[in-house]
Amino acid sequence: MSALARPRGALLIGLRALALGLAALAGIGAFVLFIQFGQADGLQTLDVVRALLILISTLWLAWGAVQALIGLTSRAEPPPRVDPHARIQGRTVVLVPVYNEDPVSTFSRVAAMDASLAATGDDAEVHFAILSDTRKDDIAQREVQVFAHLVEERDALGRFFYRRRTNNVGKKAGNIEDFITRSGAAYDFALILDADSLMEGETILQMIRRIEAEPRLGLLQTLPKVVRGRSRFARAMQFSASFFSPVFARGLAMLQGRTGPFWGHNAIVRTRAFAESCGLPALKGQPPFGGHVMSHDYVEAALLARNGWLVRLDDDLEGSFEEGPENIVDHAKRDRRWCQGNLQHARIIGAPGLRGWSRFVFAQGIMAYIAPLFWLGFLVASVAAPLFMPPPDYFPEPYWPFPYFPPSEASKAIGLAIGIFGLLLVPKLLIAARATMNGTARGFGGGNIAFASTLSELLFSSLTAPVLLAFATRSVFQVLFGADGGWPTNNRGDGRLSVADGFTAAWWIVAIGAAGLAVTWWLAPGLLFWLLPVGLPMIAAPWLISWSSQPSRSQLMLVPSEIETPRILRLHDAIFTRWENAFPTPEGDRAGFADAPHRSPAHA
């Protein structure tokens, strides 16, 4: 099944029903196995509660596995009836929102993309608008200086624009909305980026041609690849985004129909559609559930679909890049904002007129953050179960001289554990196997290296998952108890952390892990072995945080951008190096914004 045959109508409904049915079947299977396990010594209310928790948790894991299965059995191809060489008629603006970023790093990305566009020889009219929400006057002054240099070097007077808002109401969404309201009518299309986004000129042109060729298309999203990861954590995330994510995204693309995703950047919108559909009023009440919409991208995609516009993920498009956090702490800070934004969608999911799949997407986003609560509830209930269970009765029949020992159902518990781990591991192993068979693995160092990298990523994610889940669970509780996380500046620089830094950030995780194992040993010693893979990484959290933030020298987890650096990255590196010498950063100001762009380990 290819992109040429993306399901529609009854076929799409059938595919969605099949995907949901398979996930539900896995969840029900886990529920039944656990009930049978609990019946061995007499079924109690707590057994039913735990079975329900395992049902919900397994269903969520299975949903991700089903998306991977769909992605593995379909293929990404360009949409039909799009001439890749057609002359572009409309005007496009590339929007680059910035917030306390290093102007040399960010503006040199603009210069690189403009140079890449010029190298294509295409005469399409593409402008760039840098939309500053910077709050620090010294950085803003530097933005003005570097922007003047950008315009002069690229001979871009009349094509490049810069403005700084005096009031950054609505954060990034408000920044984009302000531009669309004031200047959107001058353009047919707007390509929305993040400050760390980079896109090949040819990719930008193909996106314009695709949205121009389909008058009903309101938004076209690409799948950005993470690049320039240096630390162990960043390179693991980078490998996962390049090796596994395209398959999961392919499954998502097949399920989305007319209501595809928007991830807030590296996507092009039809300005008229966006202006007519995507106004975001502030929600009643105070943050975290009230105020301005934080995870605006999902909402904007839903509003476009509500107004009849197509929203599509074209996962065949290459040449779309972004950078990621270098350590677990920076990841957790960014994830805290996403958590608040996704939980805020509980106020929006019932909005009138939304398509059913849009509501389902909101539910998925909420579930992504509350799922750890179900696992936590299951673990707590399992450890506490001996307090509520009656003592075993080995003589249920009066006057019967021989004790009765209930049959062991340990095999069902083991089978359940294997099934749950299989939902996590098997999709990635299948992706590695397919990459070896179809030649994709060559871009990741070859079949053997790609398979070894997959095993390394699985081990790494298993070690760091309890720590990441602890941060995510804390974020959920903070939001539920009314704490507003705000919109912190992204740290895009050197992310190395010491063990002391790790302990400062994660001492509470250490305490919870140690207390959890101690209570388990006291109340349910039989579970101690099973909880060690969760508790030990939590106790070791400061060392894991520090170790994973250090530069990686491994030849595993290679990605194509490390084997052969994309042209747009080479352009940016050259321009950045030249500009860095022309605009040296005062030593005292380096903490005020992101540092230099990350160079990939193979080309540092």
pLDDT (tens digit per residue) in 132-150? 999 899 999 999 999 999 9
336 pLDDT higher than 90:
yes
Cβ(50)–Cβ(62) under 8 Å?
A: no
What are 128's strand-pairing partners?
94, 160
Low-confidence winner among 56-65, 375-384, 412-421 (lowest mean pLDDT): 412-421
pLDDT in tens, 511-522: 999 999 999 999
pLDDT at 413 (0 to 100): 62
pLDDT at 345 (0 to 100): 96
Give φ, ψ of 461 to 5 degrees.
Answer: -65, -30
Q: Give the whole-angstrom CA distance, residue 281 versus residue 347.
A: 13
Q: Following DSSP, what letter does each residue of 495-545 receive, concatenated?
A: ----HHHHHHHHHHHHHHHHHHHHHHHHH-GGGHHHHHHHHHHHHTHHHHH
Higher pLDDT, 94 or 587: 94
401 pLDDT higher than 80:
no
Local structure of residue 241 (DSSP, 8 states): I
Nearest Cα to 74, choosing from 219, 246, 238, 229? 246
Return the top range by mean pLDDT from 68-82, 258-272, 400-414: 258-272
Placement of tokens 């747009």 in the chain: 568
Q: What is the dihedral of CA 270, 273, 276, 278, to 10 degrees?
A: -80
Which region, left, alpha or beta, applies to residue 171 given φ > 0 means left and ψ of -120 to 50 means alpha?
left
pLDDT in tens, 432-444: 999 999 999 999 9
Region 466-481: mean pLDDT is 95
pLDDT in tens, 575-585: 999 998 888 77
Give φ, ψ of 226 to 5 degrees.
Answer: -80, 135
pLDDT at 410 (0 to 100): 55
CA dihedral sign, ordered 138, 144, 147, 149: negative
% the chain with pLDDT above 70? 90
pLDDT at 41 (0 to 100): 63
Find all residues with CB under 8 Å of 321, minimum gap 6, and list them. Answer: 197, 198, 199, 224, 225, 226, 227, 561, 566, 568, 569
pLDDT in tens, 272-313: 999 999 988 889 989 899 998 989 999 999 999 999 999 999
Preceding omega of 288 cis (within 30 degrees of 0)? yes
Region 337-353: mean pLDDT is 94
Find all residues with CB under 8 Å of 148, minimum gap 6, and list them. Answer: none
pLDDT at 516 (0 to 100): 93
37 pLDDT higher than 80:
no
HSE-up (13 A, CA, CB side) for residue 435: 28
Nearest Cα to 172, choosing from 129, 140, 133? 133
pLDDT in tens, 183-224: 999 999 999 999 999 999 999 999 999 999 999 999 999 999
CA dihedral sign, ordered 376, 378, 382, 384: positive
CA dihedral sign, ordered 439, 440, 446, 450: negative
pLDDT at 20 (0 to 100): 94
pTM: 0.89
pLDDT bin (cut points 50, 70, 90) of residue 404 is: very low
% the chain with pLDDT above 90? 69
The helix or strand, by DSSP H or E, that contains position 329, with its residue range, turns out to be helix 328-344
CA dihedral sign, ordered 437, 441, 442, 446: negative
Q: What angle do CA 163, 166, 171 make, to 5 degrees?
A: 85
235 pLDDT higher than 70:
yes
CA dihedral sign, ordered 169, 170, 175, 176: negative
Nearest Cα to 228, choosing from 570, 488, 592, 545? 570
Region 543-548: mean pLDDT is 97
The helix or strand, by DSSP H or E, that contains position 300, with its residue range, turns out to be helix 296-306
Task: Go through the domains of the chain in sequence order and give each one's CATH number.
Answer: 91-367 (3.90.550.10)
| Burial per residue of 138-160, b for 16 or more beta-carbon CB atoms within 10 angstroms, e otherwise | ebbebbeebbebbbebbebeeeb
pLDDT at 328 (0 to 100): 96
Strand order in the sheet with 225-226: 198-199, 320-322, 225-226
CA dihedral sign, ordered 365, 370, 372, 374: negative
593 pLDDT higher than 60:
no
Measure the N-to-C terminal CA separation of the chain; round to a whole number of Å. 40
- CA distances from residue 296 to 128, 172, 287, 341 in whole angstroms, order as listed: 22, 9, 14, 8
Coil, strand or helix at 315: coil
Coil, strand or helix at 359: helix
